[in-house]
Every structure is written in C-alpha cells, then in structure tokens.
C-alpha cells in the first residue's frame, strides 16, 4: 500500500474573511479521502500568529509535508504573500503562484491585464486614499456607481452609490480597507460565476447565476443571511454560456493562474454584453460555495475535485524542479 500524502491545510488569516476561511477549510478536510491523505491543520490567527507552528521559508524544513492546500482568503494570503512563503519553503501548493495571486487580488491590475488582452471589463477609475475626488468621479461616471477597495474579497468594503452623498460615504468606507480604491460604472444586469480548473490545460465549468436577496451581493448576503439563490446551470442561451466559459479560461490565462480560479461576470440588461468582473484565485469551499458546486454539476464531485487540485499542485512543482535557477 502506498504512503498517504501529508497535506498541510492553511486557513484563518488576518483578513476580514477569516471566518469564511475556517468554514472552507473544514469542508476541504472533510472531503479528503482518509485512505489517500493525512490532513495537517495550520491555523493563522487574526493576529497573524500560526498554530501549532509557522511554516518556515527554508527548503527542506518541512520534509514531512507533501503538498500545501491554502484555504485562506483575502490580504496576507490570497494576494501572493503566502504563495511567496511557500515558494521559499520549496513546497508544492494548490492554486495560483505569486504573480497571478497578486494581480488577481488587485482589482485594478486584474482589469488592466484583461483589457490588454482585449477582454471586456467595465469602465472604471482608480483613486487614492488621500484623494477621494467626488467631482472627478461624477464627471467621468454616471450613477449608480460601485466603489470597492482594490485588494479585498467577499465584497467586504464594497458599496453601491446612487448620489453624491452616498458616493462620498462609499469612498470613505472603501478607503478604510485599502489605500487604492476602484470606482466602476454600475451595471444594471445579472451576475454569474464560472469555475476554472487546470494548469496549461485549464477548462471552465458550466456557469451559475447569482440571485442576491438585496441590491448588493455583499458579505452578509454571501455568508450570513442565507437568502441569496443560485441557478445552476445558468439560464442563458447556449451561445452566451459558451462565451462565458471561453472568457473565464481567457481571464485565467491572462492573469497567469494555475490550479483553480472562479471568474465572476456581469451581463448588462440593456446591451446583453458580458463583462469580466473579477477572478478569485482561492474561491470559497464552504458547503454553499459555488466553485465546488459548479464542478460537481459539470461532472467532478467535491472529493475528486480535491484530488485533482492536489495533483495539479504536484505537477506544477515537478515542472518547476526541471527549471534551472543558477548558471
């Protein structure tokens, strides 16, 4: 009998998505085949302290770990910082690398990369925390306007403004979470998600539609109210479903992602145009999260999805080992 793979599951973290991470991690661990894997928990507290001990940034320091499964969302984790640590430790890990994680986390940089590839993104502006220029925004964009911290997830700090007073408050709220603020033209339309899986051979699942319980699909609607609904598969013409899947893979490739990603879309009612909203490199894995549900609908059950993600991590690490780093 072959030895079990020892998988370090890292979760928790210093971001506003700490609690979501705890729930996602327990679902991932529960889905791991105990005949194949031994899960080892590494918890990062809200204060940034590790339990039972931190992973050290030294090759060979963790010879007992075969792979790492980061299930940790937001800043200080999903933004390339944790991935950098794992690269220094020379450990295989699930999901995007340093550069792709950082680009995907920054809503401005993600949009720049997509736009350079000719992929559709909504018109937007970038403001600094010390320059919350309401006049500039209202000159260049019409209400309603979405205001977002550039680097945060789970819709934390995001507001929808309908007038100047709401816009000023939304900018102050976003600025509390990030020194860079993304301000977007509000799209009146429908919201969709599409899951992507793979390395060079990335493929997209059937998309789903999000039906929020209120005007903004925010943190409370995602994780607390339990009133948002989902349509899987999304009710779209086949041509639009195919286009959404194509755009999901193209976005994944443009950003340089590997392993997994969930691409979020907006479909404008007035024009029927599909826009890429953002890409999440460590999507939720809770019992209600749509990333595993979309793959389950598309033929890959949760436990097999975990298997495939770990395989992809090991494949990428083996490929990196064939690369020279010295003369």
CA pair distance 66, 258, nearest whole angstrom: 18
**84 annotated active-site:** no
**Annotated active-site residue in 101, 151, 154, 298:** 154
Catalytic entry in 42, 223, 275, 291: 223
Q: Which of 23, 262, 267, 316 is an active site residue?
A: 262
Contact 159, 177 (CB under 8 A): no
> Concatenated DSSP letters for 60-128?
TTTTT-SEEEE---STTTTTTHHHHHHHHTT--BSS--HHHHHHHHSHHHHHHHHHHTT-----EEEEE
226 a catalytic residue:
no
Q: How far apart are CA 148 and CA 205, in angstroms?
A: 27
Cis peptide before 233 (omega within 30 of 0): yes
- CB count in 10 Å sphere of residue 287: 13
Q: At what angle do helices 238-255 and 107-116 cross, to 10 degrees?
A: 110
Catalytic residue chosen out of the listed positions 74, 97, 261, 284: 284
The CA–CA distances, whole Å, from 116 to 109, 266, 287, 321, 322 equal 11, 19, 36, 31, 31
User: Taking Cα atoms as reference points, which of 257, 262, 295 lies closest to residue 276?
Assistant: 262
Give me 204's structure tokens. Answer: 């997209």
Cis peptide before 54 (omega within 30 of 0): no
User: Using CA atoms in the order 22, 291, 87, 66, what is the torsion angle rounded to 10 degrees?
Assistant: 80
Parallel, antiparallel, or unpaired for β 124-128 and 37-44? unpaired
Q: Is 308 a catalytic residue?
A: no
Exactly one of 12, 13, 17, 74 is catalytic; which is it?
17
User: Side-chain half-sphere of 212: how many Cα atoms within 13 Å?
Assistant: 15
Query: Does 154 participate in catalysis according to the annotation?
Result: yes
Kindly report the number of other CB atoms within 10 A of residue 219's CB atom.
Answer: 19
Find, among 146, 141, 238, the residue nearest to 189 by Cα.
146
Given 66, 78, 250, 278, which residue is catalytic?
A: 278
Residue 275 and residue 121 in contact, taking contact as beta carbons nearer than 8 Å: yes
Q: Catalytic site residue 264?
A: yes
Q: State the catalytic residue, choosing from 106, 221, 264, 307.
A: 264
Q: Which of 280, 289, 291, 316 is catalytic?
A: 280
Q: Is 42 among the catalytic positions?
A: no
The residues that are catalytic are 17, 154, 223, 262, 264, 278, 280, 284
């Amino acid at each position: 009998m072959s030895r079990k793979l020892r998988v370090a599951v890292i979760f928790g973290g210093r971001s506003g998505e700490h609690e979501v991470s705890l729930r996602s991690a327990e679902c991932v661990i529960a889905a791991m085949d105990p005949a194949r894997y031994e899960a080892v928990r590494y918890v990062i507290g809200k204060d940034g302290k590790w339990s039972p001990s931190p992973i050290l940034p030294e090759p060979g320091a963790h010879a007992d770990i075969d792979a790492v499964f980061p299930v940790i969302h937001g800043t200080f984790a999903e933004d390339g910082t944790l991935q950098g640590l794992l690269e220094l430790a020379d450990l295989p890990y699930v999901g995007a690398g340093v550069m792709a994680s950082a680009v995907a986390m920054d809503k401005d940089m993600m949009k720049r990369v997509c736009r350079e590839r000719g992929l559709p993104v909504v018109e937007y502006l970038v403001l600094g925390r010390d320059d919350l220029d309401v006049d500039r925004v209202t000159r260049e964009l019409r209400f309603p306007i979405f205001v977002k911290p550039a680097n945060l997830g789970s819709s934390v700090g995001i507001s929808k403004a309908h007038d100047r007073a709401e816009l000023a408050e939304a900018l102050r709220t976003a600025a509390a979470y990030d020194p860079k603020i993304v301000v977007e033209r509000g799209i009146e339309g429908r919201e969709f998600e599409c899951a992507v899986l793979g390395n060079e051979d990335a493929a997209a699942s059937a998309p789903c539609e999000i039906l929020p319980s209120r005007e903004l699909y925010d943190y409370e609607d995602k994780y607390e109210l339990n009133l948002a609904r989902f349509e899987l598969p999304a009710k779209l013409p086949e041509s639009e479903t195919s286009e959404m899947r194509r755009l999901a893979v193209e976005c994944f490739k443009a950003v340089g992602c590997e392993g997994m990603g969930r691409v979020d879309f907006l479909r404008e009612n007035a024009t029927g145009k599909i826009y890429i909203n953002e890409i999440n490199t460590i999507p939720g894995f809770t019992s209600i999260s749509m990333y595993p549900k979309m793959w389950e609908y598309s033929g890959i059950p949760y436990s097999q999805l975990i298997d495939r993600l770990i395989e992809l991590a090991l494949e990428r690490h083996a490929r990196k080992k064939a690369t020279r780093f010295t003369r």
